[in-house]
Amino acid sequence: MNLTHSSALVAMSCLAAFMPGTQAQQHAPLVVTNAHYRMELDGTSGDLVSLTSNGRELVQKGAAPRPLFSLRFRQADAGTLDVNALQAKKFAAERVEGKGNETLLHLDYAELDGKPVSVRVTVRCPKDDPNTYWSLSVDNGTGLLLEHIDFPTVVTPNDLKGTGGDAKLFWPGMEGVEVEDMALRESFWWKWRPIEHPAMGWLGLYPSACPMQFMAYYTPQAGLYIAAHDAASNPKGIEYHAHPAGGIFLDYRLFPGPVWDKHYAMPYEMVVGVFQGDWYDAADRYRTWLDQSAMPRPKKLEDNPARPDWFDQSPIVVTYPVRGTKDLGDMKPNEYFPYTKALPVLDSLSQQFDSKVLALLMHWEGSAPWAPPYCWPPYGGAEDFQQFVNALHAKGNLAGVYASGTGYTLRSNTDPTFNREQEFADKHLVDIVTQAPDGKPADNGVCAGPNAQRIGYDMCPANEWVKDVVAEEVAKVLPSGVDYMQYFDQNLGGSCYRCYAKTHGHPAGPGIWQNEAMMDIYRRLQELVQRSGRKTLIGCEAAAAEPFIPYLLFNDNRFHLNLHAGTPVPAYAFVNHEYLNNFMGNQNAVGAFVDIAKSPLNLHQRVAMSFVEGDLLTAILKGGGKLCWEWGSSWDAQGPDHESVVTLMRNLNAWRRGAGKPYLLYGRMLKPLAVSGDHDIPMQTPRNQQIHFRSVFTSRWTHGGKTAQFLVNYTPDAQEVTVLTAVDSKSLGVCSTPTSAKSAPVGLQKDGSLRVSLPPLSAVMLEE
């Protein structure tokens, strides 16, 4: 096999050829070394077999060869053809010392599984860079559609702390989680599933419930960083799970289009690198790339003209239903209906919190609870609803509503009077719902099924009818004066769901067209809001994924769902907080992950987590004006200590409105100074497992040339901790109350440490 290339600086070339199913001839490995790492690829297959940094091996030694990539083609009958690197009839590898002081590795694979498919993998290795950059091109002679690419195969050792090791894993699902034990996620129904039809919803689908594109594996000696540096935000699966040959597979599934063309080349690079530190350091590397990339970003929140004035007041979100007492079950009107009956309770909570409140209603829709796309007029009619909104505004409080996004509901499981089957048939709306690969309506709609809230489908927003209906519904709500509308609940991260239709004007499969269709809707809604004369915010369920951040500045952060996998961490806020704030969300399904009775401080911990990541706080209301654990729990169940949680929320929110406002609303998150002296207060799961949390939460911010670190003691007992700071930090001071105009200077120990006393249910700010 003859290889040609443009560079005349060929330092070494190694070639190999083998037949599938036969013993391949062994060839010398491909090794690249610089000051940061030593990387080794198998000379026979291209498998990444070793990546060491600072004396630590970061790649699992495989019990069997691993394919560097896999491809899936979609056949005309909706079947699939899967091929991978190990099936190549011919393989060749070439090392080039290229221009720009970098080494290039070219890996060529021909006749995969005997099919007319060839692949070239290129790995760029700049001399002084801790990152390596991977890309792939495909020559496809099959005549079949290229649906997805699994690339590159990176497998780390499974030496996580939960199995006796010292490593941790970062996954960007649901705003970010630190994983110490694979068994936590694998022990019940919320297990890893491949990112493919019909899987959807709460898993590592980007841009959706997974809002960012990087993962990390780290040990005390060194860490591995892997990311898609893709400014266009092409859809991907970003997951972690056990690899059949051993270790933890950091699994990237790339959706290129889909592609009918005979030749496809990735328009971005996958990055595999090394670093020192933990998830903060990995997030900092990703944010550095993002800051320099062409990713569309809005103006920073402080300067964004779309930011409403009430943002500066940091209201506490109070969410509750007007029908029923929880997510599912009986939907009779409750004590907060008619709407105005809730006003005395909301006024009382505002006084208890010493804060404005944003009443965020559920089960308010005049259609049926969670029955998209229609929601207006409100249940019971618009008159009392309007009086409710007006009365809230008269006292400086805010109003908001949940809705359910781009689904279509045929029948409601919670309201037997709701039925849209006739309209569905008359308008032949089967033509605009998402389709499965076989051309039939996809029946895996979010929150739609025999045991869910509704029977229906997800609509494909590439259709003009869908865009028109969404805009019409939002236009009906805006004149009421609501301050926030989470119309896109169930559109996780602001996304839509895959569609294989050949008649919607988009390619027949997942691709970037999905982002474009949703952004077209968001632009229409921006125009509606601007014409309304009010700065009503539109939001989604989960934090807005990267391409949708310019349009969705306030969203229902679902970090608590990461309790199924590990300890939630504020990675999303670290990367994005300057551009938007989220709120704590309705906390649905906490009971599936946490044994409430054995974890009495779990709500305190969730409130503190929201605070340190810069989110607005949320109170979930049950009957009698009291707080409950989460949206899915019964009002009849014993709730949390109301006074204790209210005190914590009041004390923390005072910082958002006081001395901590510049940081917590508009700041850029930094890696915090190390804190010691606190202790572990784990949440207990219903499966007798533990999710570890420190007794003191902390975060550090910069704004206007200053920095501040917040220390939160969410427990009912006073604590004292040690903060390790710079010895020469002469200007460090402590604010013990949020109304402090200036922080009092403090004396540092010789080792640069500072002892800080933390009162119960409160926070302290260290400012420099």
Q: Which two tokens stand for residue 364?
A: 């308010």
The one-character DSSP state at 189 is: S
Q: List, in sequence order, every residue forming a beta bridge with 51; answer none if it has no partner.
A: 39
Q: 3-state DSSP call for residue 491?
A: coil
Question: pLDDT by residue (tens digit) across 270-281?
Answer: 999 999 999 999
Degrees, nearest 5: CA angle 243-269-259: 85
At residue 481, does pLDDT exceed 50?
yes
Which pLDDT score is estimated for 7? 31
> Do 471 and 517 fall within a single domain?
yes
Which pLDDT score is estimated for 489? 94
Which pLDDT score is estimated for 720? 95
> Do 27 and 72 fall within a single domain?
yes
Within-domain flag for 304: no
Question: pLDDT by residue (tens digit) across 120-174?
Answer: 999 999 999 999 999 999 999 999 999 999 999 999 999 999 999 999 999 999 9
> Do 598 and 739 fall within a single domain?
no
Where is the domain boundary, 667, 690, 706? 667
Which pLDDT score is estimated for 730? 66
Which pLDDT score is estimated for 201? 79
**Stretch among 27-36, 558-567, 631-640 having the lowest mean pLDDT:** 631-640
> Do 620 and 678 fall within a single domain?
no
> Do 675 and 660 fall within a single domain?
no
> Do 137 and 160 fall within a single domain?
yes
Name which of 361, 418, 368, 403 is nearest 385 in CA terms. Answer: 361
pLDDT band at 425 (very low <50, low <70, confident <90, very high): very high
Q: Which CATH number do you get for residue 682?
A: 2.60.40
At residue 727, does pLDDT exceed 70?
no
Within-domain flag for 459: yes
Within-domain flag for 300: no
Mean pLDDT computed over 683-697: 95
pLDDT band at 736 (very low <50, low <70, confident <90, very high): confident
Question: pLDDT by residue (tens digit) across 316-326?
Answer: 999 999 999 98
> Do 349 and 489 fall within a single domain?
yes
Q: If you search the block for the tokens 């007794």, which residue do you land on?
A: 695
Do the strands 38-41 and 48-53 form a parallel or antiparallel pair, or are they unpaired? antiparallel
> Do 648 and 679 fall within a single domain?
no
**Stretch among 176-190, 380-394, 470-484 having the lowest mean pLDDT:** 176-190
Where is the domain boundary, 262, 292, 322? 292
Helix (H) or strand (E) holding 364: none
Residues 58 and 155 sit within 8 Å (Cβ to Cβ): no
> Do 595 and 494 fall within a single domain?
yes
Q: Which CATH number do you get for residue 524?
A: 3.20.20.80
At residue 305, does pLDDT exceed 90?
yes
Within-domain flag for 760: yes
Q: Which CATH number do you get for residue 74?
A: 2.70.98.90
At residue 17, does pLDDT exceed 50?
no
Domain limits at 318?
A: 314-667
pTM: 0.95
Mean pLDDT computed over 583-595: 93
At residue 2, does pLDDT exceed 60?
no
> Do 117 and 185 fall within a single domain?
yes
Mean pLDDT computed over 26-47: 94
Mean pLDDT of the chain: 93
pLDDT band at 744 (very low <50, low <70, confident <90, very high): low
At residue 306, does pLDDT exceed 80?
yes
Where is the domain boundary, 612, 641, 667? 667
Within-domain flag for 309: no
Q: How many distinct structural domains can be found in the chain?
A: 3
At residue 4, does pLDDT exceed 80?
no
> Do 713 and 600 fall within a single domain?
no
Q: Which position has the higher pLDDT, 65 or 572?
A: 572
Amino acid (one-letter) located at 743: S
Q: List, in sequence order, every residue forming a beta bridge with 10; answer none if it has no partner.
A: 96
Within-domain flag for 716: yes
Which pLDDT score is estimated for 634? 87
Do the strands 214-218 and 668-670 form a parallel or antiparallel pair, or are they unpaired? unpaired
Tell me how crowded residue 100 is: count the other CB atoms within 10 A of its CB: 8
> Do 718 and 658 fall within a single domain?
no
At residue 578, does pLDDT exceed 90?
yes
Within-domain flag for 306: no
C-alpha gyration radius of the chain = 27
Mean pLDDT computed over 96-105: 88
Mean pLDDT computed over 47-60: 98
pLDDT band at 25 (very low <50, low <70, confident <90, very high): low
At residue 564, does pLDDT exceed 70?
yes
**Stretch among 205-209, 441-445, 546-550, 593-597 having the lowest mean pLDDT:** 441-445
Q: Count of alpha carbons within 13 Å of 676, Cβ hemisphere only?
A: 5
Within-domain flag for 224: yes
At residue 14, does pLDDT exceed 50?
no
Mean pLDDT computed over 227-246: 96
The stretches of 437-586 forming alpha helices (DSSP H) are: 464-477, 513-532, 571-576
Which pLDDT score is estimated for 89? 97
Q: Which two tokens stand for residue 405?
A: 């996004």
Report the interhelical angle of 513-532 vs 464-477 (nearest 10°).
30
Which pLDDT score is estimated for 8? 30
Question: Strand (E) positions, 189-268?
Answer: 205-206, 214-218, 223-229, 236-242, 248-254, 263-265
Q: List, in sequence order, every residue forming a beta bridge with 669; answer none if it has no partner.
A: 701
